Amino acid sequence: MAVPSKRNLKLKIKDIKLNCLLEITQAINHNFQTTQLLEIFKEVLETELNIGKLVLFSNQNGWKCILKYGVGDEYNNINVERDLLSITEIRAVNFSENKLNKAFEIIIPIFHKSQPLAYLLIGDLEDSIEVSPAIKHLPFVQTLTNIIVVAIENKILAKDTIRQVEMKKELELASEMQTMLFPSSLPNNERLDAAAFYLPHQQVGGDYYDFFWINENECAFCVADVSGKGVAAALLMSNFQANLRILFNYTTSLTELVHALNAKVIANAKGQKYITMFIGKYDLVNRKLNYINAAHNPPLVAINNGTVSLKIGCTGLGMFDKIENIKEGLINIEPNSRIICYTDGLTELENEKGEEFGTKSLKDIVINNPDLNMKELNTLIINTILNFKQSRPYIDDIALFSLQMH
CATH (domain of 349): 3.60.40.10
pLDDT given at position 83: 84
48: number of Cβ within 10 Å: 18
The DSSP result for 193-242, as a single string, is EEEEEEE-SSSS-SEEEEEEEEETTEEEEEEEEESS-HHHHHHHHHHHHH
Distances (CA, A) of 51 to 121, 138, 147, 305, 397: 10, 11, 18, 88, 59
169 is a domain residue: no
Is there a single domain that holds both residue 292 and residue 221? yes
Nearest Cα neighbor of 182 from 205, 159, 158, 211 is: 211
Residue pair 233/400 in contact (Cβ under 8 Å)? The answer is: no
314 is a domain residue: yes
Is there a single domain that holds both residue 248 and residue 328? yes
Helix (DSSP H) and strand (DSSP E) numbers for the chain: 9, 16
pLDDT given at position 179: 63
The DSSP result for 28-88, as a single string, is HHTT--HHHHHHHHHHIIIIIS-EEEEEEEEESSSEEEEEEES--GGGGG--IIIIITT--
pLDDT given at position 367: 93
pLDDT given at position 177: 61
315 is a domain residue: yes
Is there a single domain that holds both residue 226 and residue 339? yes
pLDDT single digits (tens) 308-320: 999 999 999 999 9
Is there a single domain that holds both residue 63 and residue 183? no
- Domain hosting 187: range is 174-405
Return the C-alpha torsion angle 59, 64, 67, 68, nearest 10: 130
Q: 91 - beta bridge partners?
A: 107
pLDDT single digits (tens) 186-235: 999 999 999 999 887 766 677 889 999 999 999 999 999 888 777 777 77
The DSSP result for 249-263, as a single string, is TT---HHHHHHHHHH
pLDDT given at position 130: 43
Residue pair 275/318 in contact (Cβ under 8 Å)? The answer is: yes
The half-sphere exposure of 115 on its side-chain side, counting CA atoms within 13 A, is 8
Three-class SS of residue 356?
strand
Strand 288-294 vs strand 313-314: parallel, antiparallel, or unpaired? parallel
Count of structural domains within the chain:
2
Name the pTM for this structure: 0.63
pLDDT given at position 334: 92
Is there a single domain that holds both residue 380 and residue 237? yes
Is there a single domain that holds both residue 301 and residue 355? yes
Low-confidence ranges of the chain (pLDDT < 50): 1-3, 6, 9, 128-134
The DSSP result for 390-405, as a single string, is TTPPP-S-EEEEEEEE
Q: 276 - beta bridge partners?
A: 225
Is there a single domain that holds both residue 89 and residue 137? yes
168 is a domain residue: no
Pick the last residue of a domain from 156, 184, 200.
156
Computed over every residue of the chain, the mean pLDDT equals 83
CATH number, domain containing residue 140: 3.30.450.40
Nearest Cα neighbor of 294 from 321, 330, 262 is: 262
Is there a single domain that holds both residue 253 and residue 395? yes
pLDDT given at position 237: 81
Give the span between the Cα atoms of 30 and 40, in whole angstroms.
Answer: 13
